[in-house]
Amino acid sequence: MPTTLASIKKTLDSQIGNEIRLIAQVGRKKTTERKGILTETYPAVFIVELDQEENAVERVSYSYTDVLTNSVAIMFDEEKEAVMN
């Protein structure tokens, strides 16, 4: 599990174009699961294009801090295991 923002960004940079599954906390006891393709990474955020059949919005963005603080868990579909929690 990456422990710095730079290592999280580096890991995500190597996965651009791959399918990704996100589990994000949206409330005290609520989570939402989204599936899409990791399209871009920027210095502070990364962008995921979502599957249109499953989601109403086209794209979402999350910060690397969300991953570091475990507000967002990331799984890459080709591995079928949690890479970052």
Q: Are 15 and 2 in contact (CB under 8 A)?
A: no
| Residue bearing the bigger pLDDT, 79 or 71 | 71
Q: How confident is the model at residue 77 (pLDDT cuts 50, 70, 90)?
A: confident
Q: Report pLDDT digits (tens) over 6-28.
A: 999 999 999 999 999 999 998 88
What total number of domains does the chain contain? 1
Is the CB of residue 37 less than 8 Å from the CB of residue 17? yes
Q: Tokens 């999280």 appear where?
A: 8
Q: What is the pLDDT of residue 84?
A: 57
Instruction: Please give the pLDDT value at position 2.
Output: 63
Residue 66 reports pLDDT greater than 80: yes
pLDDT at 72: 93
Which domain, by its residues, includes 30? 5-84
> The domain spanning residue 22 has which CATH number?
2.30.30.100
